[in-house]
Amino acid sequence: MISFDKVSKQYISGQYALAGVSFEIAKGQMAFVTGHSGAGKSTLLKLVLATEKCSSGNVVVNGTDLNHIRRREIPSFRRRIGMVFQDHQLLNDRSVADNVALPLDISGFSRRDALRRVRAALDKVGLLSKEKKFPAALSGGEQQRVGIARAVVNRPSIILADEPTGNLDPELSMETMEVFEQFKNVGVSLLIASHDISLINRMEYRTLILKGGALIGDTGLGELS
C-alpha cells in the first residue's frame, strides 16, 4: 500500500528532511512514525499525500508512483487517502456535519447519501450529537475527532495521521487509537506520526523511528493482517 525506496527530500537550502528512507506498509497494517521535532515525520506524511515530491528515490502509494503522478491526478489520488491533521484543518464557517461531508461533497454525493455516511462516521467517533455545532464550539479533542471522522467518511484505503493525539489527554488519546484500530481491522492501512512514546509503547504496533531525516529504527512489530 505504501512503499518508500531510498527516499530523500532535500530543501532548496540544502538541508535534508529525509535521507535514504526505505520501508513498506502493507494493507491492513498500522504503523507509527516517531522521532523528535524536525526528524522528518511530517515530511514523510506529506510525501505520502503528494503535497510534496521527493528529491530522489521512489514513493509508491496505492499502486501510484508519486514521482510520475500528473498534477490533475492528485485530487483523485488524495480522495483515496484519509488525512488527520495535527491542527485539525476544519472549516470554521461550516457545521461539524458539513466539515465531515466535505470529501463526499467533492466526490459528488447527494446531500441525503452524504448525510447518512456523515452520521455513521460521527457515530464512530462519538460526536453524533454535535453534528450541527460549529468547530469553535467544540473542545480540542472533539475537533480532532471531527478531523478523524472527515478522514474516514470516504472509506479510504489509507489513513495518515499527523500527531492525532497531540492535543488530547491520555484517556482520549487511547480512545482515538481504538478508533484507528477499528479501521485497521477492516483492512485500512494506517501511518501515524507521533512523538508520544508512552502511547506508542502501549499500542505495541510497528514503529518507524526517524532521526535527522534518516530511518534509524523499524521495530517491525507485526500486526500484518
> Is there binding between residue 225 and another protein (CB under 8 A)?
no
Which of 79, 124, 133, 195 is the binder for another protein (CB under 8 A)?
79
Among residues 68 and 112, whose Cβ is nearest to another protein? 112
Asked if 110 interacts with another protein (CB under 8 A), we say yes
Distance between CA 92 and CA 112 in Å, rounded?
22
* Closer residue to another protein (CB): 25 or 153: 153
Angle at 46 between CA 185 and CA 125, to 5 degrees: 35
Give the separation between CA 111 and CA 30, rounded to whole angstroms. 32
Sign of CA dihedral 62, 31, 75, 21: negative
Q: Is 72 in the site for another protein (CB under 8 A)?
A: yes
Measured in residues, the chain has a length of 225
Question: What is the rounded CA–CA span in Å between residue 53 and residue 10?
Answer: 10
Binding residue for another protein (CB under 8 A) from 76, 182, 185, 225?
76
Q: Which stretch binds another protein (CB under 8 A): 90-98, 181-189, 201-209, 214-222?
A: 90-98
Location of C-alpha cell 505520502: 48
Name the residues that contact another protein, by CB under 8 A.
49, 51, 72, 75-79, 81, 83, 85, 89-91, 93, 102-103, 106-108, 110, 113, 150, 154
